[in-house]
């Protein structure tokens, strides 16, 4: 299975399990993430979910060879990008969260990361753009100029820098992201479920209009990019393991 689920009391741990592919998301994984998070939301005994990639890497984003499959009804892209969960979801990040991996983390409510973790949006290096929320969620979670840096250079930032800038809630020692996320979850479950649900609902309502505009702008950018020669060259160069020669159109 591309996703493992473990229940510890009121907490569901959802682990991406395509480690041989650096947890790159294909259609099967999208369906599995969606099913795991649907079960979490529908189980009244579960209060918080922790989404992790395990001890080595969080997620490399879309499996470029296979694609990420069809967006799901409740979760959208990757089964999580468009999800409006009434319960908190915490990302526990070890290794790197690149491209769609960072966009998955941005779709969660909180992020705990090992000090050795890295966050990046390298789509421009492939002639692509961040189409899974990164174009508008990165500048909401980070200072605008830092979001521009990520989106325009494709270079990653460290977990320490991400924490200083407010993207990451807490850093841990290497290998400690899951335990840190579970400790944060334990603090949350002390509180009233109704209060948590209504707080998350209010926050979603506050950013809903911004999200709608963000998806519209992303769709426009995606249509241009998918028709471009730069995209074809970027993807070809990726598979051929060479430096792209951008045609600029």
**Mind telling me the catalytic residues?**
103, 123
Distance CA 208, CA 239 (A): 37
Distance CA 167, CA 91 (A): 11
Instruction: Name the one residue in this structure whose structure tokens are 């051929």.
Output: 240
SS3 at position 4: strand
What are the DSSP calls for 150-215, one per residue?
HHHH---EEHHHHHHHTS-SEEESTT-HHHHHHHHHHHHTTS-HHHHHHHHHHHHHHHHHHHHHHH
State the burial class of residue 35 (Cβ atoms within 10 Å of its Cβ: 0-12, 13-18, 19+): middle
């Amino acid at each position: 299975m591309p996703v493992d689920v473990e229940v510890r009391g009121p907490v569901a741990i959802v682990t991406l399990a395509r480690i041989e592919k650096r947890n790159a998301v294909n259609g099967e994984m999208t369906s599995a993430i969606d099913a795991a998070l649907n079960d979490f939301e529908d189980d009244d005994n579960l209060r918080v979910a922790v989404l992790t990639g395990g001890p080595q890497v969080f997620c490399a984003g879309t499996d470029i060879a296979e694609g990420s499959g069809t967006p799901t009804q409740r979760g959208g892209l990757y089964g999580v990008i468009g999800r409006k969960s009434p319960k908190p979801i915490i990302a526990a990040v070890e290794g790197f969260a690149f491209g769609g991996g960072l966009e998955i983390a941005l779709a969660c409510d909180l992020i705990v990361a090992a000090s050795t973790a890295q966050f990046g949006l390298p789509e421009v290096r492939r002639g692509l753009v961040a189409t899974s929320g990164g174009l508008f969620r990165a500048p909401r979670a980070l200072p605008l100029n830092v979001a521009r840096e990520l989106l325009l250079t494709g270079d990653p930032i460290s977990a320490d820098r991400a924490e200083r800038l407010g993207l990451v809630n807490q850093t841990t020692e290497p290998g400690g992201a899951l335990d840190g996320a579970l400790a944060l979850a334990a603090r949350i479950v002390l509180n009233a479920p109704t209060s948590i649900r209504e707080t998350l609902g209010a926050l979603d309502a506050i950013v809903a209009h911004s999200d709608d505009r963000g998806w519209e702008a992303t769709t426009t950018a995606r249509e241009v990019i998918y028709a471009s020669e730069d995209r074809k060259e970027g993807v070809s160069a990726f598979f051929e393991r060479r430096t792209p020669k951008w045609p600029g159109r």
